[in-house]
Amino acid sequence: MSNSSVVIIDYKMGNLRSVQKAFEKIGCNAIVSNDTETILKANKLVLPGVGAFKDGMKHLTDLNLISILNQKVLEEKTPILGICLGMQLFSKKSYEYGETQGLGWIDAEVVKFEFNIQNLKIPHVGWNEVYQENENILFTNIKDKHDFYFVHSFYFKPNEDVTIGTTEYGFEFTSVVNKDNIFATQFHPEKSQSAGLQLLKNFMEL
C-alpha cells in the first residue's frame, strides 16, 4: 500500500460508496473494508455512517472491529475521520433508543434535538454554516461560516475541550471535533461539494 492509504471502515451503515467516490475525486484511492489485515496496514481511517447509534455499535461489535480500532486509533495514533454517525460513535454514550455505550474515545454524549421553536424540524436536514472556533488543519483553505450538508436528529455534546467547529440549529451545537489524531464532522463532507472535498484533502495531508 502507498503511504497515503486510507481505509473506509465497512460496518454496514450508510452509503460508503459515496464517501469512497469523494476520496477518488481528490485523487485518493480509498479502500472500503472491514478486513483486519487491511485496516492494520492503513495510514488513515474513515468511519462514516448513517442510521441508529445502537445498530452502529452492534455492527462494530459483531464484526470484531472495536479492539482493532482501539489499537489503531488509541495505541498507534492513526488519524481517523468520523462522519455523521461515525462522529457520534466516538462518544461515551448515546440516548438514541435507550442508552448505548459508544467507543468512548471522547468524553461526550449524544442527545436528541429538542426545541420550543415551532418551525425547526427534526431531523436537521440541509445546508448550514460551520463556525470555525479554532484554527485547525481540517479547515485549511475553507472560509469561516461555510455551508456544509447535514442530516441528523441527535447531536454530539462533548464534556471536554475538543470542539473546533459549531453550527446553529435552535442553539449552538458542536459540529466538528479534534482530539489528538481523532477528527470528526457531524455534516457529510462527501455531500458538501468543493468545501467538503477540501476538508477530505486536508485530512489526507495530515
pLDDT tens, position by position, 56-91: 999 999 999 999 999 999 999 999 999 999 999 999
Q: Nearest CA to 109 among 98, 117, 97, 101?
A: 101
Residue-range domain boundaries for the chain: 6-204
Catalytic-labelled residue, pool 28, 109, 146, 190: 190
Residue 3 has pLDDT above 60, yes or no: no
Residue 124 among the catalytic residues: no
**Shortest CA distance to 5 belongs to which of 38, 30, 39?**
30
Verify whether residue 28 is a known catalytic residue. Answer: no
Q: E-strand spans in 24-104?
A: 30-33, 44-47, 80-83, 93-94, 100-101
Global model pTM greater than 0.85:
yes
Q: Verify whether residue 188 is a known catalytic residue.
A: yes
State what percent of residues in the chain have pLDDT above 90. 95
Query: What pLDDT was estimated at residue 15?
Result: 86
Topology of domain 6-204 in CATH is: Rossmann fold (3.40.50)
Which of 28, 59, 84, 152 is catalytic? The answer is: 84
Distance CA(120)–CA(116), nearest Å, equals 9
Element (H, E) at 110: strand 108-112
Structure confidence at residue 1 (pLDDT) = 33
Mean pLDDT of 105-117: 93
The confidence score (pLDDT) of residue 168 equals 97
Distance from chain centroid for Cα 5:
18
Interval 140-149 mean pLDDT: 98
The residue among 118 and 85 whose pLDDT is bigger is 85
What pLDDT band is residue 201 in, cutting at 50, 70 and 90?
very high
pLDDT at 116 over 90: no
